[in-house]
Amino acid sequence: MAKVVVTDRDGVAHEIEAETNSPLMYSLRDLDYGVEAICGGVCSCATCHVFVDDAWIARLPARDQDEEELLEELEHFKPNSRLSCQIEFGPELDGLKVTIAPEE
């Protein structure tokens, strides 16, 4: 387990313990902060959209084509947008900061 600071849609920051060696989406989905993850993490719905804090974005692998295409179609797309199902959360990301994107 490692820590993630999650800012919910009301602007409230929560420090949580997230499962390591697993997509971040699983930990976020279980918290009821608005991450629905309807597709179950197969990168096909974008309901796990988050904004990664700028200080952390360079530490993540680049988005693949599927993730890029889904994100670019969203109304709330930003350069720091990611799908949390595509963020493999490991101990090297301890302290990661994300904000849950507005509902589409």
Residues ≥6 apart with Cβ < 8 Å to 34: 8, 9, 100, 103
The topology (CATH level 3) of 2-100 is Ubiquitin-like (UB roll) (3.10.20)
% the chain with pLDDT above 70: 100
Domain ranges, ordered by start, for the chain: 2-100
Q: How far apart are CA 52 and CA 47, in angstroms?
A: 15
Q: pLDDT per residue over 36-82, tens digit each?
A: 999 999 999 999 999 999 999 999 999 999 999 999 999 999 999 99
Does residue 34 surpass a pLDDT of 90? Answer: no
H or E, element range at 56: helix 54-57
User: What are the phi and psi torsion angles at 49 (to 5°)?
Assistant: -65, 130
Give pTM, 2 decimals: 0.95
